[in-house]
Amino acid sequence: MNDRFFASDNSAPVHPEVMEALRAANEGHAISYGDDRWTREATKSLRRLLGRKASVHFVYNGTGANVLGMQAGIAGYHAIVCTDVSHINTDECGAPERATGAKLLPVPTQDGRMQPDQILGHLHAIGVAHHSQPRVVSLTQSTELGTVYETDLVKEIAKVCHKNDLLLHLDGARISNAAVALGKDLDEITSRLGVDILSFGGTKNGLMFGEAVVFFRPELETAFSYIRKQGMQLASKMRYIAAQFQALYGTDLWRGLAAHANEMASTLAAELVQLPDVEIVYPVQANAVFARLPRSVIAEAQGEVFFYVWDEDASVVRLMCSYDTTASDVERLVAAIRRSLKVQ
Amino acid sequence: MNDRFFASDNSAPVHPEVMEALRAANEGHAISYGDDRWTREATKSLRRLLGRKASVHFVYNGTGANVLGMQAGIAGYHAIVCTDVSHINTDECGAPERATGAKLLPVPTQDGRMQPDQILGHLHAIGVAHHSQPRVVSLTQSTELGTVYETDLVKEIAKVCHKNDLLLHLDGARISNAAVALGKDLDEITSRLGVDILSFGGTKNGLMFGEAVVFFRPELETAFSYIRKQGMQLASKMRYIAAQFQALYGTDLWRGLAAHANEMASTLAAELVQLPDVEIVYPVQANAVFARLPRSVIAEAQGEVFFYVWDEDASVVRLMCSYDTTASDVERLVAAIRRSLKVQ
Amino acid sequence: MNDRFFASDNSAPVHPEVMEALRAANEGHAISYGDDRWTREATKSLRRLLGRKASVHFVYNGTGANVLGMQAGIAGYHAIVCTDVSHINTDECGAPERATGAKLLPVPTQDGRMQPDQILGHLHAIGVAHHSQPRVVSLTQSTELGTVYETDLVKEIAKVCHKNDLLLHLDGARISNAAVALGKDLDEITSRLGVDILSFGGTKNGLMFGEAVVFFRPELETAFSYIRKQGMQLASKMRYIAAQFQALYGTDLWRGLAAHANEMASTLAAELVQLPDVEIVYPVQANAVFARLPRSVIAEAQGEVFFYVWDEDASVVRLMCSYDTTASDVERLVAAIRRSLKVQ
Amino acid sequence: MNDRFFASDNSAPVHPEVMEALRAANEGHAISYGDDRWTREATKSLRRLLGRKASVHFVYNGTGANVLGMQAGIAGYHAIVCTDVSHINTDECGAPERATGAKLLPVPTQDGRMQPDQILGHLHAIGVAHHSQPRVVSLTQSTELGTVYETDLVKEIAKVCHKNDLLLHLDGARISNAAVALGKDLDEITSRLGVDILSFGGTKNGLMFGEAVVFFRPELETAFSYIRKQGMQLASKMRYIAAQFQALYGTDLWRGLAAHANEMASTLAAELVQLPDVEIVYPVQANAVFARLPRSVIAEAQGEVFFYVWDEDASVVRLMCSYDTTASDVERLVAAIRRSLKVQ
Query: Would you say D65 and D202 are in contact if contact means Cβ atoms under 8 Å apart?
Result: no
Alpha carbons within 13 A on the beta-carbon side of A62: 25
| Mean pLDDT (chain C, rounded) | 97
Partners of residue C3 in chain D, C-beta under 8 Å: 28-29
- Residue B88 has a CB neighbour count (10 Å cut-off) of 26
**pLDDT < 50 positions in chain A:** none
Contact flag D77-B91 (C-beta cutoff 8 Å): no
- Residue D192 has a CB neighbour count (10 Å cut-off) of 18
pLDDT of residue A3: 84
Residues A158-183 as b or e (16 or more Cβ within 10 Å = b): bebbeeeebbbbbbbbbbbbbbbbbe
Alpha-carbon span C242 to C255, nearest angstrom? 18
Query: Would you say C170 and C197 are in contact if contact means Cβ atoms under 8 Å apart?
Result: yes
Query: Is the per-residue pLDDT at B343 higher than 90?
Result: no
pLDDT of residue B2: 61
Contact flag C129-B229 (C-beta cutoff 8 Å): yes
| Mean pLDDT (chain B, rounded) | 97
Contact flag A33-D226 (C-beta cutoff 8 Å): no
Query: Is the per-residue pLDDT at C1 higher than 70?
Result: no
Residue among B31, B50, B63 nearest B191 (CA): B50
Alpha-carbon span B13 to B27, nearest angstrom? 23
Query: In angstroms, what CA-CA distances link B209 with A38, A60, B13, B27, B235?
Result: 16, 10, 11, 20, 11
Distance to chain A for C221, nearest Cα, Å: 23
Contact flag D203-C63 (C-beta cutoff 8 Å): no
Alpha-carbon span C68 to C74, nearest angstrom? 10
Query: Is the per-residue pLDDT at B207 higher than 70?
Result: yes
A328 cis-preceded (ω within 30 degrees of 0): no
Partners of residue A316 in chain C, C-beta under 8 Å: none
Query: Would you say B225 and C127 are in contact if contact means Cβ atoms under 8 Å apart?
Result: no
Contact flag A33-D129 (C-beta cutoff 8 Å): yes
- Cβ-count burial of A206 within 10 angstroms (0-12 exposed, 13-18 middle, 19+ buried)? buried
pLDDT 10s digits, D309-335: 999 999 999 999 999 999 999 999 999
Contact flag B4-A95 (C-beta cutoff 8 Å): no
Q: Which of A78, A93, A129 sits opposite C130 (nearest CB)?
A: A93
Alpha carbons within 13 A on the beta-carbon side of B240: 30
Alpha-carbon span C139 to C85, nearest angstrom? 11
Q: Which of D93, D144, D312, D313 to mutate to test the interface with B (most CBs of B within 10 A)?
A: D93
Residue among A304, A200, A310, A302 nearest A258 (CA): A200
Give me the domains of chain B, ranges plus CATH numbers: 16-249 (3.40.640.10), 253-340 (3.90.1150.10)
Query: Is the per-residue pLDDT at B261 higher than 70?
Result: yes
pLDDT of residue C183: 98
Query: In angstroms, what CA-CA distances link B253 with A236, B24, B246, B248, D268?
Result: 22, 17, 10, 5, 71
Distance to chain D for A169, nearest Cα, Å: 20
Partners of residue B12 in chain A, C-beta under 8 Å: 29
DSSP summary character for residue A200:
E
Contact flag D230-A130 (C-beta cutoff 8 Å): no
pTM of the model: 0.97
Residue among A341, A344, A325, A342 nearest A279 (CA): A341
- Name the closest residue on chain B to residue D122, using Cα atoms: B90
Partners of residue D130 in chain A, C-beta under 8 Å: 229
Residue among D61, D134, D53, D71 nearest D91 (CA): D61
- With H, G, I as helix, E, B as strand and everything else as coil, classify residue B200: strand
Residues paired with A214 in a beta bridge: A56, A198
pLDDT 10s digits, B283-298: 999 999 999 999 999 9
Q: Which of A7, A31, A235 sits opposite B61 (nearest CB)?
A: A235
Partners of residue D26 in chain C, C-beta under 8 Å: 13-14, 16, 19
Confidence tier at B234 by pLDDT (50, 70, 90) = very high
Distance to chain D for C257, nearest Cα, Å: 16
Task: Please state the φ and ψ torsions of residue D228, each to the nearest 5 degrees.
Answer: -65, -45
pLDDT of residue A306: 94
Chains that touch D (3 or more CB pairs under 8 A): A, B, C
Query: Would you say D161 and D137 are in contact if contact means Cβ atoms under 8 Å apart?
Result: yes
Confidence tier at C2 by pLDDT (50, 70, 90) = low
Listed as own residue / partner, the contacts of D85-88 with beta carbons closer than 8 Å and 24 or more positions apart are: D85/D109, D85/D112, D85/D143, D85/D144, D85/D145, D86/D138, D86/D140, D86/D144, D86/D171, D87/D62, D87/D63, D87/D140, D87/D144, D87/D171, D87/D173, D88/D138, D88/D171
Contact flag D230-A76 (C-beta cutoff 8 Å): yes
Residue among D200, D209, D228 nearest C210 (CA): D209
pLDDT of residue B3: 84
Partners of residue C225 in chain B, C-beta under 8 Å: 129
Alpha-carbon span A75 to D274, nearest angstrom? 56
pLDDT 10s digits, C200-252: 999 999 999 999 999 999 999 999 999 999 999 999 999 999 999 999 999 99
Contact flag D77-A234 (C-beta cutoff 8 Å): no
Q: Which of A32, A35, A77, A128 to mutate to test the interface with D (most CBs of D within 10 A)?
A: A77
pLDDT of residue D3: 84
Contact flag B29-A7 (C-beta cutoff 8 Å): yes
Contact flag B94-D101 (C-beta cutoff 8 Å): yes
Residues B217-241 as b or e (16 or more Cβ within 10 Å = b): eeebbebbbbbbbbbbbbbbbbbbb
Alpha-carbon span C99 to C96, nearest angstrom? 5
Partners of residue B230 in chain C, C-beta under 8 Å: 76-77, 101, 132
Chains that touch B (3 or more CB pairs under 8 A): A, C, D
What average pLDDT does this structure show over C109-132?
96
Query: Is the per-residue pLDDT at D267 higher than 70?
Result: yes
Distance of CA B90 to the CA centre of its chain: 14
- Name the closest residue on chain D to residue A131, using Cα atoms: D226
Confidence tier at B129 by pLDDT (50, 70, 90) = very high
Residues 6+ apart with CB under 8 A from A11: A5, A320, A322, B29, B30, B31, B32
Confidence tier at D343 by pLDDT (50, 70, 90) = confident
Residue among C330, C339, C325, C176 nearest C267 (CA): C330
Contact flag A97-C90 (C-beta cutoff 8 Å): no
Alpha-carbon span D103 to B93, nearest angstrom? 8
**Cα angle value C323/C325/C330 (rounded, 5°):** 145
Alpha-carbon span D15 to D244, nearest angstrom? 10
pLDDT 10s digits, D152-182: 999 999 999 999 999 999 999 999 999 999 9
pLDDT of residue A1: 52
pLDDT of residue A343: 83
Distance to chain B for A116, nearest Cα, Å: 29
